[in-house]
């Protein structure tokens, strides 16, 4: 029973991180679309994904040093 409780807490935290990243991605995407309306949706989403992944890489590097 205790292992199941721990697993549920871990899974819940993983989902929270996932939803936070989706929220960040959505905000970045909306900013790109607002600032560059000439870009299509796919291009804007690729740019937003790149920005988000670069930010995550920078964070992980700063945590490891």
pLDDT at 60 over 70: no
pLDDT at 63 over 70: no
Q: How many CB atoms lie within 10 A of CB 16?
A: 10
Angle of helix 2-35 relative to helix 41-64, nearest 10 degrees, comes to 130
Question: How does pLDDT run across 6-46, given as a tens digit for each residue?
Answer: 566 667 777 777 778 889 999 999 999 999 999 999 999 99
More confident residue, 54 or 58: 54
SS3 2: helix
Handedness of CA 61, 28, 47, 19 (dihedral sign): positive
Full residue range of the structural domain in which residue 50 is found = 2-64
How many domains would you assign to the chain? Answer: 1
**Residue that is written with structure tokens 């600032």 in the block:** 35
């Amino acid at each position: 029973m205790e292992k199941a409780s721990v697993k549920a807490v871990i899974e819940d935290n993983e989902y929270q991180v996932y939803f936070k990243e989706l929220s960040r991605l959505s905000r970045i995407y909306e900013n790109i679309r607002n600032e560059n309306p000439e870009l299509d949706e796919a291009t804007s989403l690729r740019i937003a994904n790149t920005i988000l992944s670069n930010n995550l890489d920078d964070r992980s590097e700063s945590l490891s040093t």
